[in-house]
Amino acid sequence: MKLTYTIDINSTPEIVFSWLGTPERAMMWQTSVSKTEILHETPNMIGTTFREVVEENGRRVEMNGVVTDYRKDQVLAMHLDSKYNNVDVEYRLEEIGGRTRLTMISNIRLRSFLRVLSIILWPAFKKKLLGQLNREYASLKELCERDT
C-alpha cells in the first residue's frame, strides 16, 4: 500500500531536516512514537540501525529500522520491520521560493492474515492514516516555522 503526502513549510530545508532526522525532535510531532533508540550509528548514517516503540489505542508495537538513504537537508529514507508489517518511508526536501516542500513517500506491507484483510480494509485504514498525517505534519509545520 503506497501513500504519498506533501506539505509546504515556511522554513529552510536545514530546519525541517533537523525535525526529521533527530529522534528526540521527531518524537515531538510523531504522536504515535513513544520511544526511539539508536542501536548502531554509522559515520554517513546509511546503515544506522534503531528501534522505535509505536503506541496506538493502548497497543504497543516495537519496530526495528535501518536508514537506507541519507543526504543531509535533502533525503532521509528508512526501512522498518515489526511483527505486523514492514514499511519503507522516504522524506524528500526541496527548496522552492524560500520555502521547503516536504514529500513523504511510504510503502506499507502488512504481514500474514492482515495482508488479506488489507484489500477490504484499505479505504478505512487510508482515511485514518491520512487524518493522523494531517495532524502530525501540521504540528511539524508549526514547529519548523517557529524555529525559523
Q: How confident is the model over 120-130, as pLDDT tens digits?
A: 666 777 788 88
3-state SS of 93-138? EEEECCEEEEEEEEEEEECHHHHHHHHHHHHHHHHHHHHHHHHHHH
Beta strands at 99-110 and 2-9: parallel, antiparallel or unpaired: antiparallel
Domain residues for 119? Answer: 2-147
**For residue 74, is pLDDT > 80?**
yes
The domain that contains 108 carries what CATH number?
A: 3.30.530.20
Q: What's the pLDDT score for residue 117?
A: 61
**76 CB-contact burial (10 Å; exposed 0-12 / middle 13-18 / buried 19+):** buried
**For residue 101, is pLDDT > 80?**
yes
Long-range (24+ apart) CB contacts under 8 A made by 112-117 are: 114/84, 114/85
Q: What's the pLDDT score for residue 4?
A: 95
What is the mean predicted confidence (pLDDT) over 65-87? 96
What is the mean predicted confidence (pLDDT) over 16-37? 95
Nearest-angstrom CA–CA distance, 29 and 145: 13
Q: How confident is the model over 49-69, as pLDDT tens digits?
A: 999 999 988 899 999 999 999
Q: What's the pLDDT score for residue 14?
A: 97
Number of domains in the chain: 1
Does the model's pTM come out above 0.75?
Answer: yes
| 148 touches 10 (CB < 8 A) | yes
